[in-house]
Structure 1
Amino acid sequence: MSQPSPSKDHREVPYYAQDIDFDDLANRDPDWAAITKTGKETKWIDFQNPQILLQLTKSLLKRDFHLALLELPDDRLCPPVPIRWNYVRWIQDLLDTTSDSYSDRYEPERDVLGLDIGVGASAIYPLLATSTRPRWRMAGTDTDQHSLDYARKNVHANELSKRVKLALSTADAPIIPIDKLGVDELDFVMTNPPFYSSKADMQASYGAKTQPPSAICTGSENEMICPGGDVGFVSRIIDESLKLRERVQWFTAMLGLLSSLQQIIAKLKEHNVTNFAVTALQAGHKTKRWAVGWSFQDLRPRNDVTRHGELVHAVLPPPTAQTIDVPLMSKEWAGEKVDQILKDLDMRWQWRPAMSTGVMEARENMWSRAARRKKKFSGSKLGSKQMTMADGGDDESEEEEPVALAVKIVCAKEVVELRWLRGTDYVLFTSFCGMLKTGLASSGDRA
């Protein structure tokens, strides 16, 4: 699907994947048609004209998200919609695939609270987030009162004032003012920080381009420049995240250059942050941006979310999925064999034959030879325990044990898919995958 399609509840708006079809937009939106069409011929679109840029943003927000027209000052950024929506959409995927239910899908009943750092005059991120998810709420901060005044107008115009709260911040205040917000936890933090560290840095960046920018930039200095640029700003967020840790499920940031992404990931690794995700936010063939998210919690995003888009190997986080190929293996045989192997281990395990799907939780490595030997000589009997799942289970009275590893296993013809759900130790995940692969490979006849 090339562009988002409007829907009544906006719950499944897809990523922008291709360039905007301006003729189609003109056919759907009279305001856009009025400035781009003469009769049946589409005129050349002058993206150096700020009014055309503003109308494009307004028309996309109206068509794809049913959002009211924006009011923006002439001296502040007019936000292009596609990449910004892709950033919000990726955060939705991050949260949808890291819930305690292990559902890997959007849960309409889940309440979510996010923070946009540097909300800008448009309040584009809170508007997109809350208009597409009815149970989501947003807080937003900015150090510029002029921008906040317009942001409040845009929130009010879209009747979202009860779900979007904006506040003025200062340069020396915490970037993530969680205590000032009066909350104990946030589900996510997002930011689209200034990319440049100085005017000279910004001019050098423009000078290095082989072609002039396709669209005029109307941003003010405080929107374009900050000490250290995007790397400096996000590094400050990393420092604050090391103190807040699990009070925020996902810290995220957009970055302007691949080199910036590489530097931020290097900093995360320096602090032993192993649960992180990356995405390329390109929408079509022009501007490309990147985003990174990191968490101190142990829920792992789905593999297509944790490594989203076209990315170089150097920035990739550990994969959260493995595939075991066993030629000639039927789905039924695979399910029976997997169930048999895991029932013999001391872990929480629930298997659903009708879905050929199971979820295991283990407090430690219970499949190694040493673990089996220890159980044997201790006189304890090996065996799995029933597990409470999102849609019901048998063992609600049992005391919860710490979970070192959780894995979803899905069996299909000639393949077994393993999805890392929870845990901080990638080696433990790969060890479990290796054990299961060996067990399946050493089996007898395959149906």
Structure 2
Amino acid sequence: MSVEKQILHPRNLHRSRYDFPQLINSCPQLETFVFLNPYGDLSIDFSDPLAVKTLNKALLIHFYGLKDWDIPEGYLCPPIPGRADYIHYLADLLASVNEEVIPEGHSVKVLDIGVGANCVYPIIGHQIYGWAFVGSDVDKRAISSATNIAAVNPSLSNDLTFRLQNAASNIFRGVVKPGELFDLTLCNPPFHTSAEEAQQGSQRKVRNLGKQKGREVVLNFGGQNAELWCKGGEVEFIRKMIEESTQLATQCCWFTSLVSKSAHLSMIYYALERAGAKGVKTVEMAQGQKQSRFVAWTFLSPAERTEWSRKRWKK
């Protein structure tokens, strides 16, 4: 019997437990990693990076119509259900300024800050809602990987583009072109303050899975430095994002970022107040035992947001 995961967004395609026979049918490579666990259920070893990557590949092929997907060794391999939740709640955010109708199609333009080698947010957002994406990253190899994913999947290639952020200290600056409009920005910021802290987080993750047993810890099951940590952690990264977003006040309807720790929200709200944001929303999300959320802000008044939707999305 399929048991729904009630905590996921109602439109999330991953509300039921993984149907491994179905996924193996879509991606035969997955079969190598599937076994019967002590509870009599089919599963994989979630502490094995290759098993997790192959599961992701199967999910992206089966649910999102990809022909192929791969990432270089050592790069972040994110859980697909949680990434999908962010996208669906972002769709609701856009609907909130569009008479509760989700705008679809490539007229909706989204900027993914730190797209990563995996390109997961653009894949889900495009395949579910048809949105066009620009993905930026400071890592040349990540940009190359994301570009390759789009190139080998014809359904993506026309609506996904990627830009290298040449200055690691910048976020929007140097990526967004003069006069360019985005309906939405999204970001999963590096949340650790140092490489050491990121390593400790990965060790805790492996222990929680009960799979330590002498296995060498793989940093967050993949993840380059820029993906996992930055000076000051996520608070400083988001503060910088807020500061730069003031320069794009009329070029974007909603700016958003994931926030991993609720304790950081008060500092982020203070930064948004100082920046003069005219609308701030916090959306709580949860996947399994993990609590997450994103903060959205805009410099457009309610009337300007309505006018934005009328000009951008109304047929």
- TM-score under structure 1 length normalisation: 0.58
Deviation at 1:123, TM superposition (A): 1.0
Q: Among residues 6, 9, 21, which one is paired with 1:26 in the alignment?
A: 21
d(CA) in 1 for partners of 2:205, 2:175: 42
- Please, which moves more after superposition, 180-189 or 68-77? 180-189
The aligned counterpart of 2:61 is 62
Aligned residues: 288
Q: Which residue of 1 aligns with 2:119?
A: 123
Give 3-state SS (helix, strand or coil) of 1:239's partner.
Answer: helix
For residues 233 and 281 of structure 2, what CA distance do their matches in structure 1 show?
21
Q: Alpha-carbon deviation of 1:17? A: 7.4
CA deviations over 1:351-380 (Å, ceiling 9, x no partner): xxxxxxxxxxxxxxxxxxxxxxxxxxxxxx
2:226 match: 222
Contact 1:75 1:220 in 2 (8 A): yes
1:104 counterpart residue number? 100
Q: Please give the secondary structure, in 1, of the residue aligned with 2:190.
A: coil
Deviation, structure 1 residue 147: 1.1
Q: Does 1:298 pair with 2:298? A: no
- 3-state SS, counterpart of residue 281 of structure 1: strand
Q: Does the residue aligned with 2:110 lie in a helix, a strand or coil?
A: strand
Q: What is the Cα deviation at residue 71 of structure 1?
A: 1.2
Contact 2:116–2:143 (8 Å) recurs in 1: yes
Higher-Rg member (1/2): 1
Tell me the residue number matched to 1:87. 86
Query: Which secondary structure does the structure 1 equivalent of 2:286 belong to?
Result: coil
- Change in Cα spacing, 1:228 to 1:214, as seen in structure 2 (3 Å) is farther
Residues 264 and 191 of structure 1: CA distance in aligned 2, closer, same or farther (over 3 Å) = same
After superposition, give the CA deviation of every residue in 1:130-160 in whole Å (9 maximum; x if it has no partner). Answer: 11123x2111111111111111111112222
The yes-or-no answer on 1:47 pairing with 2:36 is no
- Structure 1 residues 210, 152: CA separation in 2 closer, same or farther (over 3 Å shift)? closer
Where do 5+ consecutive residues of structure 1 fail to align? 5-11, 301-389, 392-447
Cα offset, 1:95, TM superposition: 0.9
How far 1:261 sits from its partner (Å)? 2.9
1:142 to 133, 137, 140: 137
CA contact (8 A) 2:20 2:43 kept: no
Give the aligned residue type for 1:185.
Answer: L
Q: CA deviation at 1:172?
A: 4.7
Aligned partner of residue 46 in structure 1, secondary structure: coil
Aligned CA-pair RMSD: 3.3
Structure 2 unaligned segments of length 5 or more: list them. 212-219, 304-312
Shift of 1:179: 7.0
> CA offsets per residue over residues 185-234 of structure 1, 9 Å max, x none?
21111111111111233355567789535795211222111121111111
CA distance in 2, matches of 1:208, 1:37: 24
Counterparts of 2:301 and 2:14, CA distance in 1: 30
Tell me: CA distance 1:95–1:207, structure 2 relative to 1, closer, same or farther (3 Å).
same
For residue 11 of structure 2, what is the amino acid of its counterpart? P
Q: Which amino acid aligns with 2:190?
A: P
Equivalent residues in 2 for 1:4-403, closer than 5 Å: 14-15=11-12, 18=15, 21-22=17-18, 24-30=19-25, 31=28, 32-37=30-35, 42-43=41-42, 45-99=44-98, 103-108=99-104, 111-134=107-130, 136-159=131-154, 160-172=156-168, 174-177=170-173, 180-181=176-177, 183-203=179-199, 205=201, 212=208, 217-283=221-287, 285-299=288-302
The answer to whether the 8 A contact 2:278-2:301 is kept is no
Whether contact under 8 Å (1:273, 1:294) holds in the other structure is yes
More helix by share: 2
Query: SS at the partner of 1:73?
Result: coil
* 2-structure distance, mates of 1:235, 1:197: 14
Q: Distance in 1 between matches of 2:32 and 2:295?
A: 39
Mapped contact 2:47–2:206 kept (Cα < 8 A): no
